[in-house]
Amino acid sequence: MSTPKTLFQKIADREIPAEFVYEDEICFVIRDINPQAPTHLLVIPKRRIPRVGESTPEDAATLGHLLVTAGKIARELQLTEGFRLVINNGPHGGETVPHLHVHLLGGRPLAWPPG
């Protein structure tokens, strides 16, 4: 029996609509439907990695690609004053979808510590 598709796999397969900002062979970037900042995007690998705490050495290139892509998108959006990247892991980390993704937040000052 196969594992059911995650929300993000359904979005990647265009089964669920989303506002795509970027896409390549490894990942895609969409707007978050519940933004926490003026710019709130999700950088999502097409290949499902459940969470960063379960990543393996074989995932290193994909994980690096997600960060490079986030930086590229931040430059394109002219987030010159700064931005934040967040990866949630597990229920206490705020994870709501068991498919690793990077939140790219910017467009306003972001307080520390978060939440």
* Chain segment 59-98, per-residue pLDDT in tens: 999 999 999 999 999 999 999 999 999 999 999 999 999 9
| 33-42 exposure pattern, b = at least 16 Cβ within 10 A, e = fewer | eeeebebbbb
The dihedral region occupied by 82, where left means phi > 0, alpha psi between -120 and 50, and beta the remainder, is left
Cα–Cα distance measured from residue 4 to residue 76, given in angstroms and rounded to the nearest whole number: 34
Question: What domains, with CATH codes, occur in the chain?
Answer: 7-106 (3.30.428.10)
CA separation (Å) from 104 to 2, 30, 40, 61? Answer: 31, 10, 6, 19
Q: Read off the amino acid at residue 110.
A: L
For residue 1, pLDDT over 70 is answered with no
Among all residues, which ones are annotated catalytic? 101
Q: Which pLDDT tens digit goes with each residue over 33-46?
A: 999 999 999 999 99
